[in-house]
Amino acid sequence: MIDWHIFHKTDTLSTNTDARAGRHGDVFTADFQTAGRGRLDHKWLSERGENLMMSAVLDVAALDVAHAATLPLAAGLAVVKTVSAFLGVEADVKLKWPNDVYVSGLKIAGILCERVGDNVIVGIGINVRQKRFPEEISTRATSLNLNGSSADVSNVRHELLRSLSSVYETWYKEGFEAVYPEISAVDWLKDREVSVMQTDGDSEPISGRCGGIALDGSLIIDGRSVWAGEAFSARVRE
């Protein structure tokens, strides 16, 4: 298991920014981020002290580029396992390619991975105790508390680090194929009609029926591999 070293701030610009100076096993957390962000530079909105905001530094120096590129999905699986641990096996917890976790169709967590030298910074935000969200996301977001969990942020951080360590070690030693069956089993987009925007405001998104996450980490849409972007389904749009 990874020997984690935790560095906490009350306020910070971004835990991912803090983690740029870290080493393998370092974890950076904060009660509040003034410049938290997700994919395509979307702002991460969170109430002070209510949610887990964490960035873990993981070594990928010995891995080829294709292997390292699947780490966001492996991290997503760790988040799914964490959320499921608090909500129970009956909860509808799914991984939405490439970097979100949903409960019953609502977003509860996001992942942002960034390569820095020989490491990848795995930024993870999980809504824990927040009950109200800004108007622009209020119909699309949820939290552990809103799903009946009394967990606090420290409980969730502990469980997430345990899960992330386990998934990372399997993924690192045995490859993406070792964690792929579990990822495929919680694939939220599979068999849905989807559109993938490859840039913010993309005027020509890739659209079609989703064949699910492939063994190489790409998303299959009408038989075509899509490697990056933000996916929207016909049923739920972020």
Whether residue 92 has pLDDT greater than 80: yes
Report helix, strand or coil for 61.
Answer: coil
More confident residue, 31 or 235: 31
39 — pLDDT class (breaks 50, 70, 90): very low
For residues 136-149, average pLDDT: 93
* Mean pLDDT, the chain, whole residue set: 92
Q: What is the pLDDT of residues 165-174, one digit of tens each?
A: 999 999 999 9
Asked if 136 and 150 touch (Cβ cutoff 8 Å), the reply is: no
Structure tokens at 169: 């070690």
Other CB atoms within a 10 A radius of the CB of residue 63 amount to 17
For residues 21-26, average pLDDT: 97
Whether residue 33 has pLDDT greater than 90: no
Nearest alpha-carbon partner for 196 in 179, 218, 176 = 218
Whole-angstrom distance, CA of residue 93 vs CA of residue 186: 7
Asked if 210 and 190 touch (Cβ cutoff 8 Å), the reply is: yes
Which residues contact residue 66 at a Cβ distance below 8 angstroms, ignoring those fewer than 6 apart? 216, 217
* 105-109, 135-139, 185-189, 210-214: least confident range: 135-139
What stretches of the chain adopt beta strand conformation (E)?
A: 5-12, 26-33, 52-59, 93-96, 100-103, 106-116, 119-126, 193-197, 206-213, 219-221, 224-226, 230-233
Whether residue 48 has pLDDT greater than 90: no
Whole-angstrom distance, CA of residue 4 vs CA of residue 66: 26
Total number of residues shown for the chain: 238
